[in-house]
Structure formats: structure tokens, C-alpha cells
Structure 1
């Protein structure tokens, strides 16, 4: 795993040295997650998210950081982040094959977990729409305390994607987006008790993009998971979000 990380860093350094910035975005949002299934096991969660992305001639960077449960006592605070890296492997890489890496660290009291996917992705762009699937090997490191590593090693494979579509309705601009991750062949020693070795994790979102120069964009998200987030079966809920775009 260490050598894969070094290889990714070398690719990033080589690209950054000759980088031509093309586009990007950034936003900060306030979110409230209301869990539906299994509510007794998952407290409702207010969180702040900082998100951003940038596109270069060599590839793409995307990431976000969540500060979670700040509406609860401080011992329940947690942090979650996701970072994605695409290095184009074709001449017109923005519409083609890319080397892909994704890292997802999560930290809470007495717990931390890091999941890293290494593989390939492909970008498809259409009129006012996009679809970016990826597939790779999954590495997991999970600890329940500083002195006890619960799981560390290769943990199957992950197929995922991000997708979106812009449209106009009632004279207003809207965007529907979806991110999705499907894990295959996870290790039996890792999966939650009673869960299958396959899992599903994602969200389907609708965003209102107010006309004019408004930097604000409210939205509603349906958050879903199956055989993951530490428990078997379905976990789902709704997220009310207000973003400030900069």
C-alpha cells in the first residue's frame, strides 16, 4: 500500500509541475441529517462541510471535510473527509480514462477508519450532464482504540460513480446529483455482524440554483446505505442543506 501511495504522489508531483488550471469550485454548507431506519442507533446529525474541486490539463482533484455532530456534546464530535485524485491517461483525459485514487478517513471518540481505493476511472460528459464511474481495489484500516487495530489490509473491491444533470423548471435552474459506492468481496472479519460481504453507500440530491447572482444554493439529499456504516441492513435518511458557493 505504501508503494501505491508513493506512486500516486509522484504522478501528482509530475502533473502539478506542468499544471494548467482550467476550472474549479468551492463551497461551505450547513447540513442537518435526519436518520430514518435504525434511528435508535444513529443520533440526528448537524454538520458543517467544506467542499472543493479543481481541474487541470493533467487531471482533477476533489475533496470535502465534514465536522459532524456539533449539535451534540463535545465527546460525540466526529470528523469525516473524502479526497479524490484523477490523473488523465488519454490525450483528451477530461473525457476518457484516468488513474484514480480515493481516500476516506473518519475519526470519532475511540474510533478511526481509513478506506483507500486505487484503480481506474472514466469521464463521460453530455449536454448539461456528466457520469464518472471508477473501479479499484479497496484497502481498509480500522481501529477502535489507539492500542487496538480491529482490521488492516486489502478489503475487496469498490465500484462507484458520481453523476449529475442540470435542468430548468418553473423558470429556475436545478441540478440533480448522485454518488454511489458498491463494495464487493469484503473480508468477513471486517463486515458488521449479520451483514453480507457486499455493501452499498451513496446519496441522491436535488439542488436549487437561484436565478441571478445568488451564491446560495439550498438542497435536499436522500442518504442511503446497505450493510455498511457499522451495521447490517438498510440505513437511510434525509439531509437538508444550505450551501454558500465561492
Structure 2
């Protein structure tokens, strides 16, 4: 087995273990009639698979042409989450350019096979809205044999307003593992938020995830960006509109944005993502 093949197999093994764990959790009986609810009695859960197409703006492609060049791509995603009386979990795993070789010759490496995955958790602090927040994000580009894993540990907060808007901010210390730098890397603050509504007798929702990294390490900023050193503050997120025509199908459009992230220093990057999801739960 070559080193490159071995590197590609690692997230597949990780994904398989994650899917097995998720299946075990999601298949756990609800124990709704138990006077003392089982700790694995889930309060809510969801799971889906989706096909997505990310279309970078023309400006982004021009601004990044010599700095971690961006190219439109298709990706497949597995996504799910579950909530319990003591905590909640969310995760996804993406296969970017899933039909391409590890190094895509025709695009000069812009359309390599890549994977990205994230797992987040809130472990509740008693009956308060506060939680211990943990977050792991892993990205790998197999054509360039590059990787970066962000690890966040801190505090979270959960609230739902009377109008149905839910909001979950967090802040934590950041650690990174990458090809050229491993160590503490400042802090990350951010949130996930959502709101469900109806219009024209149809069900819709708006969601937003946002991450702000700051006080990042100078060595990381020098070694993990192309043709320049990035600023210490980075922005990453997406604003999404979802249509739920049936319980089985969800479709939506997302506005993806970032700055001083994704390998490009000191440049704003934006894209539209078009998605169709098959809801399994």
C-alpha cells in the first residue's frame, strides 16, 4: 500500500466508524414510556445524504488564481445529528470531486479528489443553557497529500426565542494539525442559527453557520497559505435558504463566504452552493 493510498483510506475508515456509531445511536429505542428515561433516549435526530454543486464567483476565481486557486466542484455529503437530555451532536462528511483521480491532471490539481468532515458537540452543564463545546474539522487534498485538522474546545450557549429562532454561539481555544504546523492556533468564536417558516403553503427554513478565528499563530499563517502570509483573523461561513417540499426531500441554496481562509491570504472568497437532500430521518 502506498503512502498516498493509505492517507486516502484513513478518512474512509473514520467515516465508517462514525456511520456505525451514528446508526447505533439513532437506532436506540426512545423509551418514551420509561418513568426514568434512558440516557440514550434521543429527543430529536435527523440524517440525510445530498448531492451538491459549489459555484465560485468569477471574482473569487480571479482573486485566487495564484493563491490556492479555486474551481467549481460537485460533492456528496452525509449529514446527521441527535439530541439527548444531556447533550447534542452534529456531523457531516463530504466527498469532493468523488469521480476524479487523487490528482486531477486536466485542472492542474484544482479538481483533485478531496474530503472534508466535521463533528461538533454540546455537553450540557446541568439545567443551564451553557455547555462544554467541542469541534473537530478535518480536510484532506489527496492530490497534494495535504491535510489540516482544526480542534476546538470551549464553551457553548443554546437558546430558542419565542418566534422559533434558535441560536447556538460558542467560543473556544483552537489547536491545529497540518503538514507544516501542529500546535495551538489562537481561538475560534462563532454560531449556528436557524429559523423555520411557511410561505405559499410551503415549508422553508433559513440557517447560518459562522466561524471567526483570531490570534492565530504566526508560523501557521506563514506556512499554510499560498504566496503570502494571512492575517491573524479569519472568517468562514454560509447563509442558507431551504425548501422542504416533502418529508423525504429538501432542496436549497447556500451563500458560502470566507476571508483569510481556505489557503488564500487576505482575499474575500464567495460561492453559491446548490443542494438536493434525501432525508433518511
Fold agreement, TM-score > 0.5: yes
Matched, 1:47 2:75: yes
State the distance in 1 between where 2:136 and 2:98 align: 23
Residue of structure 2 in register with 1:61 after alignment: 89
State the distance in 2 between where 1:219 and 1:72 align: 25
Cα distance, 1:139 vs structure 2: 0.2
| Comparing 184-193 and 110-119, the one that deviates more | 184-193
Residue pair 1:19, 1:58 contacting (<8 A) in 2 also: no
Q: Secondary structure at the match of 2:43?
A: strand
Residue of structure 1 in register with 2:261 after alignment: 228
Residue of structure 2 in register with 1:103 after alignment: 136
Q: Secondary structure at the match of 2:219?
A: coil
> How well do the aligned residues superpose, as a CA RMSD in angstroms?
1.6
Residue of structure 1 in register with 2:206 after alignment: 176
Residue of structure 2 in register with 1:116 after alignment: 151
Q: Which residues in structure 2 correspond to 1:1-246 (within 5 Å)? A: 18-36=39-57, 37-39=59-61, 40=65, 41-70=69-98, 72-75=100-103, 76-91=112-127, 93=128, 96-109=129-142, 110-126=145-161, 127-143=163-179, 150-191=180-221, 192=225, 193-210=228-245, 213-232=246-265, 233-246=267-280
Aligned length: 220
Q: Structure 1, residues 165-218: CA drift from partner, whole Å, max 9, x if none?
A: 1111222111010000000100111123242100100000000111xx441111
State the distance in 1 between where 2:270 and 2:261 align: 11
Cα distance, 1:74 vs structure 2: 4.0
Q: Structure 1, residues 109-128: CA drift from partner, whole Å, max 9, x if none?
A: 21011000000000011232
Cα distance, 1:71 vs structure 2: 5.1
State the distance in 2 between where 1:214 and 1:20 align: 23
State the distance in 2 between where 1:87 and 1:214 align: 29
Going from structure 1 to structure 2, the CA distance change for 1:221 and 1:71 (only over 3 Å counts) comes to farther
When normalised by structure 1's length, the TM-score is 0.85
Residue of structure 1 in register with 2:15 after alignment: none
When normalised by structure 2's length, the TM-score is 0.75
State the distance in 1 between where 2:42 and 2:60 align: 44
Cα distance, 1:52 vs structure 2: 0.3
Residue pair 1:180, 1:203 contacting (<8 A) in 2 also: yes
Cα distance, 1:59 vs structure 2: 0.3
- Report runs of 4+ in structure 1 exceeding 6 Å deviation: none
Q: Secondary structure at the match of 1:128?
A: coil
Q: Structure 1, residues 6-54: CA drift from partner, whole Å, max 9, x if none?
A: xxxxxxxxxxx93332110001100000111332411111000000000
Greater per-residue strand proportion? 1
Going from structure 1 to structure 2, the CA distance change for 1:27 and 1:242 (only over 3 Å counts) comes to same
Structure 1 unaligned segments of length 5 or more: list them.
1-16, 144-149
